[in-house]
Structure formats: structure tokens, C-alpha cells
Structure 1
Amino acid sequence: MKNDRFKLLGLEMKYFLPITFLVIGASYLHVLPKGLVGILPYLMVVGIILDYIGNHLPIIKDYFGGGPIVIIFASAAFVYFDILPKETSKAIHTFMIQDSFLDFYIAALIVGSILGMNRSLLIRAAIKYLPVIIGGVTVALLLTGTLGMILGYGFKRAIFYIAIPIMGGGMGAGAVPLAQIFGQALKEDPKSILSVMVPAVALGNAIAIVFGGLLNNFGKKYPKFSGNGQLLKSEENNAEEDKKILTSLDYKQLGIGLIVSTTFFILGKILNIFIPIHPYALMIISVAIFKMCGFIKWEYEECAFKWFHFVMNNFTCGLLVGIGVAYTNLGQVIDAFTPTYLFLVFSTVIGAVIGTSIVGYFLNFYIIEASITAGLCMANMGGTGDVAVLSAADRMELMPFSQISSRLGGTFMLILTSILINLVS
């Protein structure tokens, strides 16, 4: 019997609508439970509704990424216009940040996607990846500095206050330490420097998300430039492995995948005690070493990969609501909308795309994938931006390389900035 009834979250409307009414109603009645039991279903319900709307809006669905971009900015608007009850907003902040739901999600994606990759492909791609990042950073800085000089904003000011913060790995690991570096070198108050950087980072993140959707659409129109989630051309891909690990599901495998992914995250936190690099980066390095050296049995790699797909397919829309509420300040984005400032932010993102495309092309990368991972995921706001950009680009399997950009690339930017600021100050 053919079952073609309309469904959301896999539920027919006669079930989905009462659930939605109860969950959202509990929020406005101020009785929505905090934490996993209340906030997760709330995020999932709101996320899937906004995702459906975004995927059916003309222009938005074709050119701007559809559902993901609507979820993020509509959720941010709920906070900005006080539509979302403050109690619920605070609970979502706590769930995303203090309760580490974002870390939980990213750990599943990083560990599962790396362990599910072809080993030789992982090694070859990792060796070539840093030059692609450097290409994007170089073009982004030079293009923005040149345009800043032409527009009267200043060459150095455009680079240090707009381009570098955008390419610096987000807020906590990027703009905040950058402001400290600038303040020490320039003998200025880091808070005043940060106030100039924050709008650039927020607006750059928004533009990067939009570009993720645009590049996905471009790849569909011109398939020769797209690897459909595969980074390298003319290389053995992981289709055989994907086929093998996605054939059948034993429910115990999800539990094994959960414990494997979270253990690698904990390992990254432990290593961070001794190595001053972001725990995400240390997690990536650890998983990659285990994968390349064959330290984990294939059946456990399979479990981690299946857990990654379970989390991605069920929690992504909800997570994007959390990103919109807890990490996207719509006021900062609106305040930054002056023509010159907006143009320079735009030039930084487009410079990152151009630079990574050129270098990626010569290093045998698909230019769409190179631009998204080494370009846009350098120009966004770290882990949250990676999820948003990859969702808009429909390439969540590229999360490990996006995190390399956000974490190791962000560390590279801090080192580069420390050198440059002392040369010109």
C-alpha cells in the first residue's frame, strides 16, 4: 500500500501537530522542561518547520541554501524581536553551551566521518589541504586591503580589523584572542578593538552561509566543478566503504558509535592540558592518526559512521535553531550594514573563495569543495559556522576538513597576526 501522506520528522500531521502544539505551548506557559527532555524536542520541532518553509521559498531555496539559512536567521529573529520567551531562550543557551550539545553533535560528525573515510584518501587530502587554506587567506587579505585603500578605509585597517577577524576562526578562538594581540601591540584597549571586530565576524559568518548555498547551486548547474562531497579529483573515493557501512543497522551499533565519538572528544580535552591547541583540533588529529594507523577495528569504525548519520539526519535542524538562538546576534549583523563595511566583509569572503578555488584547482581538488571547506569555513564563526555552512551547502560529510580550517586554520591565523602586527606597529 502506497503511503504518500505528508510528514514532518517522519510523523503524519495528525501526530506532528499535537506534538508541536504541546511543545511550543509549554514554552509559552513557562513549563517547558530544561535540558535534553524539553529543549531537544523543542529545537527539533521548530527546526523541521523552519526547514520545510525554507526549502519551499522561491529564490531562498534555489540560491541561498533553503532550510538551513532560514532556520538560523529566523531563530535569531525570534530572539531579536522578543518572540521567543526569555526563559526558553536562556534554556537553549544553556543546552547548547553549558550542556555541550554543540560539542556532542560535532564530535559525532568529526569522529564518524573520519573513521568512515577511505584511509589513503584521508592521507592524501590532509597533505594538500594547508596550501589551499593559505591560498584563500592570502587572496582574502590582499583583496580586502586593496579595496579598503581604494574606498578610503585604509589598507592596514581593512586587513587587521575586518579581513583577519573574519578569517581568524570565529569569536572565542578568533576575535577575542586577536583583540588581545592587537591591544598589546598597539597599546589600545582590547574591548574597543573587539567592538570593531565583532560585527565583521558576525556579518562574515552570515555571508559565508549564503555563499554555501550559492556554491551548492553552482555545483548542481556545473557538475564538473563539484565532487558532491568528495574533496579530491581522480582519487579513490569511499563509495565502497559507504555502501558497506550503510547496509544494515544493529541498534547496539549506535551505542558503540556514541561512546567512540564522545571518548575521542574527551581525549581532545585531555590533550589540551598539555598541548595549547583547541580540543577540536586535537580530536581531529587523534581520530586521523587512529584511522591512518588502523588502530580501530573496522566494525567499530562502522558503528561510529552509523552514529554520525543518525545524529546528522535527526538533530541537524534542531541544532541550527540552537545556533540561531545562542550564537547569532542579529543586532550586530544589522548594525554592520554600512555600504563600505559590508563591501569589505563581502570582499573577504569572496577572496577566500577565489584563493581556495585557484590553489585547490592546481592541487587536484574539486573547486566547490575546496572553496567551502578551506574558504568559507575559514570565514565563518568556527564550529557553529561550519555546521551552518555545510548544511547550506548540503555537504555535512566534509565536517573534518571544515574543522581543520576552523581550528588549525584559526591557530595559523593567530600566529600570522602576531607576526604581522609586530612588523607594522
Structure 2
Amino acid sequence: MSKISVSTGKKTGELAMGKISKIKILGFPLYMLLPMAIIVGVIAAQGILLDNIIGALLFAIIFGGIVGWIGDNIPIWKDWCGGGMLFTSLAAGALYTFKLVPESVITTVSNFNGKMGFLDFYIVVLLTGSVLVVDRKLLIRAFAGFIPTILGGVVVSFGLAALVGTIVGVGPVEAILNTALPIIGGGNGAGVIPMSKIWGGITGKDPAIWYAPAFATIVIGNLMAVVGGALLDRLGKKYPNITGEGQLIRGHNQEAVSKGNEEIKVGMTEYASGLALALFMFVLAGFYADKFSIINHLGLGFTIHKYAFMVIFCGLLNVSNIVPAEIRAGSKGVQQFFVKHMSLPLMVTVGITLNLADFATVFSFQKIAISLAVVIGSIIGTIVVGRWFKFYPVEAAITAGLCMANGGGSGDVQVLGASHRMELMPFAQISSRIGGAIILVIASILFGLFAS
């Protein structure tokens, strides 16, 4: 019996070693990646990580690749809680919250995301690649029905927030003003910050009084939205008839980069063209938003973000049909590279300043209940209205619903990453930017009526 046991144990060990030897992360076998990770970790721990794009991207790629792989292989979590995407963002937040790396590393990685524009870079590549490959007629149909679908989610979110707020003793007005508005408002920079200024201007009080709890509220709302995206993805796998697997409208192939049956040959030149076009469209949209936009210069108390103008300009470029098919295919190729290989590093840069302690400030029963009602309402409302425009329920709920209820631009990346639908970024940006601007108008009306 002992011989059999030893033999079985030896074979089991050999099988386990065989499986481990086959593991590849970022394309590296473990015997290469682990020494690289240890060296980067030692350098980071000593606070001598290069304070530039090279140091930041290296840290984000190595940390994100390993932690993302772990998150994608944790039972239950990988299927129901966002997998490697959310796990990477939270793990990066843990580095900041528990001071596991020097402040210099946090600053370097955070600056790479913000001042150096990595988040912008990622989003503009996805926007251009996604919009240019959508069939022109389908694009017009989608955008025409998208704003009403967003508004459907907003109405139901506010309604459920008022109902649950009444039930838990907070009251319908406070539930809408202090929970629903922050969560649905388009994130921090384009949502809660200008909203707090509107509140301060109307009440005559310091905007920080409203801003501090509102910011904590969008943190928990964003987490719920990300988990909701993962759950909707899982639901779509169980019931395939309710999802287009990344396509918004029923009965249509969203991508159309080829002319007829002609095959398009895409090489390095086309990828370079696609990348250059994406960068140009972003610069053009920013220039227009700052210098020429009539809406942004009317003094309405809100402005339309350059991402929204970029989606519009890319849509016009698509409809005009002046971009050669091979360049559109190149744009799509660059987008696919970023989705596949830059998403986890982006999660590191997004999460590196996430203070997990912020969750504690909103962990009251009332706040959790109302926040959950807002997120669920965004799902229900967009599914109901989206059906009128033949939108798939899962895709409508994710883009027009959860991408209104998340943390803005970075939240869009997290939600779409957790739901494995990065190709829907243009619609997510319409929610966060144009939808967010609509919420600022609604907030100014509601604050004027009820804030004191």
C-alpha cells in the first residue's frame, strides 16, 4: 500500500509541476516572469522606480499581469465578481490604502494615468476603433435610441431611490439628492465636483459639505456597477438570447470594416495610421470643446466633455465614408491590442489611488440599500426602454445603465472590463459624458427646488 501511495503522490506531483510549467502570464513562462517581478518589486520597495512612463508602465504591466491572472483564476470571483479586472483595481487600491509601496511609486503610477494621459490614451484608441467599424446605418440608429434609453434608466433609478429612501427612513428627497444624483452623475471630475459647486451656489454653503459624502457614495456605487457588469455578463452566458455579446442592436453585425467580401490586409502601416487618427481626433475634439463649442460657452453651469465631441466627430467621420477601409481596420487592430494587453495595466493606474477605507464611510444600511436601488434601477429602466429600440438587454443595461451609475471614465473601463465588452466604449462614453451633462442640468433644478 505504501508503494502505491508513493507512486501516486509522485505522479500527482509531476502532473502539478507539468501544469505549472505550462502557465504563461504576459506570454512569459513563470521561470522568466517571477524573477522579473521580484526585481521590479525590490526596486519599487526601495522607492527608486523610474519616475517616468517607463517605470510606471513596467510596474503596471508586471503587477497587473500577475494579479489579473490570479483574479481570473479564483473560483466564483472569476465568474461573478469581475475576475482579474476588478481584482487588479482593488489590489492596486490595497497598495495605497495599506502603504505597501512607497509614496513615490503611488505618485509615479498615478501621474502616468493622469498627467501623462494613459487613461486618455486608452479611451481615445477604444473610441476611434469602436466607432469607425460600426455600420453607418446602425450607428445612426444606435445613437438615436441611446439618449432615451439613458433617461429611462435615470427615471427608474430616481424612482427606486425615492421608494427605498422612504422605506428605510431617509426620505425620498434626501435619497435622490445625496445618493442617486452622485451615483448617476458621471463620476467625480465631470459629475460630483461641478455638482457640488451647483449645490454650494444655490445653498450658499461650502461645496465641500456636500462633496465629501457624495464622493464616498460614488465609490460604493461604482463597485456595485462593476459587480453588476460581471453579473450581467454571466447572465448573458446562461441566457444567450438576451445578449449580443458586445453588439448593441438585435439582428445586426455591429462591425463593418470590409467592403463586401473583400479581405483587408492590415499591417504595421495601417496600425500606425489607425493610432495617428485616434490621437488626431482626440486633439481635434479637445480644441473644439475649448474654443468653438457654443454650449460650453453659454455659461449654463455645465460643459460637454471632449470625449463626447470625439464620439460625435468619429461618428461623422464614419458616416461620411471618407476613411479607407484598411485604416478603419488598422484602428480596430490597435483597439484590440489595447483591450487585450493594456486593460490590466490600466486597472493598476486607475486603482492605485483608491482608498479602500472610503468604502467604510458609506457602509450604513440605509446608504447601501439606496445605492443598490439606484444601480438596479439603472438596469431595469434601460432594459425596458432599450427594448423599444431593439437593443439587447445586457448591452443596454451595461452601457446606458451601469455606465451612468459608475465612477465616470475610469468606471467605464472597469464596468466594460468586468463584463468583457470593451468594444462598447463609445456608448459608455455617451453615458458618462452627455448623460452626465444631462444630470448636471437635472441636479441644478432639483437643488434649486429642494436643497437648503
TM over 0.5: same fold?
A: yes
Partner of 1:179: 196
**Structure 1 equivalent of residue 315 of structure 2:** 288
Find runs of 4+ consecutive structure 1 residues off by over 6 angstroms: 242-247
Flag the 1:216–1:133 CA change in 2: closer, same or farther, 3 A.
same
Amino acid at match of 1:407: R
Kindly provide the amino acid, as one letter, of the partner of residue 155 in structure 1: P
Residue 384 of structure 1 aligns with which residue? Answer: 410
The reply to whether residue 272 of structure 1 matches residue 299 of structure 2 is: no
Q: Output the CA distance in 1 between the equivalents of 2:257 and 2:47.
A: 50
CA drift of 1:247 comes to 6.9
Q: Which whole-Å CA distance do the structure 2 matches of 1:383 and 1:151 have between them?
A: 31
Equivalent in 260, 267, 273 of residue 256 of structure 1: 273
Could you tell me which amino acid in structure 1 is paired with residue 421 of structure 2?
R
Report Cα offsets for 1:231-277 as digits up to 9, x if no partner: 01123432674998997541222222221111111111101112222
2:79: which partner in 1?
Answer: 62
Aligned to 1:393: 419
SS of residue matched to 2:352: helix
Instruction: State the 1:299 CA deviation.
Output: 2.0
**Hey, what's the Cα distance between the residues in 2 that align with 1:242 and 1:387?**
31
Give 1:133 shift.
Answer: 0.1
- 1:412-423 equivalence runs, <5 A: 412-423=438-449
Aligned partner of 1:322 among 341, 349, 352:
349
**Once the two structures are superposed, what CA deviation does each residue of 1:204-226 show, in whole Å capped at 9, x if it has no partner?**
01110111111100110111111
2:361 matched to which residue of 1? 335
d(CA) in 2 for partners of 1:393 and 1:244?
31
* CA shift for structure 1 position 90: 0.8
Distance (Å, rounded) in 1 between the aligned partners of 2:444 and 2:182: 13
More deviation, 257-266/414-423: 414-423
Q: Which residue of 2 aligns with 1:20?
A: 37
Equivalence for 2:336: 309
Amino acid at match of 1:362: W
Matched, 1:103 2:120: yes
Q: Does 1:162 align with 2:162?
A: no
1:33 positional shift: 1.0
Cα shift at 1:149:
1.6
Q: Are 1:48 and 2:74 matched, yes or no? A: no
Distance 2:74 2:103 in 1: 29
Give deviations 1:171-196, integer Å, cap 9, x for gaps. Answer: 01000111111122223221101112
Q: CA deviation at 1:59?
A: 1.4
Q: Is the 8 A contact 1:212 1:376 kept in 2?
A: yes
Is residue 132–residue 360 contact of structure 1 (8 Å, CA) maintained in 2? yes
Give the Cα separation in 2 of the matches to 1:94 and 1:244: 45
Amino acid at match of 1:217: R
Corresponding residue of 2:107 = 90
CA, structure 1 residues 35+242, in 2 after alignment: closer, same or farther (shift >3 Å)?
A: farther
Q: Partner of 1:370: helix, strand, or coil?
A: helix
- Equivalent pair of 1:245/1:306 in contact (CA under 8 Å): no
Structure 2 CA distance for partners of 1:254 and 1:178, relative to 1, 3 Å: same
Give the alignment partner of residue 346 of structure 1, picking from 343, 351, 372: 372
Unaligned runs of 5+ in 1: none
Counterparts of 2:215 and 2:253 in 1: how far apart (Å)? 42
Matched, 1:37 2:37: no
Find the aligned partners of 1:104 and 1:251 in 2 and give their Cα distance: 19
Displacement of 1:61 in angstroms is 1.0
TM-score by length of 2: 0.90
- Does the aligned pair in 2 maintain the 1:163–1:348 contact within 8 Å? yes
Distance 1:245 1:112, change over 3 A: farther
Larger CA deviation: 4-13 vs 76-85 = 4-13
CA contact (8 A) 2:258 2:264 kept: no
Alignment of 1:4-19 (within 5 A): 5-19=22-36
Q: Deviations over 1:74-111 (max 9, x none)?
A: 11011101112211011111111110110011010001
Amino acid in the other structure paired with 1:278? H
Amino acid of the structure 2 residue aligned with 1:369: E
Taking only aligned residues, the RMSD between alpha carbons, in angstroms, comes to 1.8
User: C-alpha displacement at 1:121, in angstroms?
Assistant: 1.2
Report SS of the residue matched to 1:98: coil
CA contact (8 A) 2:46 2:102 kept: no
Query: 1:193-212 maps to which residues of 2 (within 5 A)?
Result: 193-212=210-229
When structure 1 is superposed on structure 2, of 183-192 and 85-94 the one drifting more is: 183-192
Instruction: Specify the alignment match of 1:411 in structure 2.
Output: 437
Distance 1:385 1:244 in 2: 38
Q: 2:110 and 2:244 mapped to 1: Cα distance?
A: 36
Q: Is the 8 Å Cα contact of residues 245 and 302 (structure 1) preserved in structure 2?
A: no
Question: Structure 1's 19 and 241: CA in aligned 2 closer, same or farther, altered over 3 A?
Answer: farther
Equivalents in 2 of 1:45, 1:223: separation in Å? 35
Q: Which amino acid aligns with 1:353?
A: I
Equivalences for residues 130-145 of structure 1 within 5 A:
130-145=147-162
Asked if structure 2 preserves the Cα contact closer than 8 Å seen for 1:162 and 1:200, the reply is: yes
Deviation at 1:390, TM superposition (A): 0.3
On the 8 A contact 1:171/1:381 being kept in 2, the answer is yes
1:31 deviates by 2.2
- 2:22 is paired with a residue whose SS is coil
Q: Deviations over 1:130-152 (max 9, x none)?
A: 11000000000111012112211
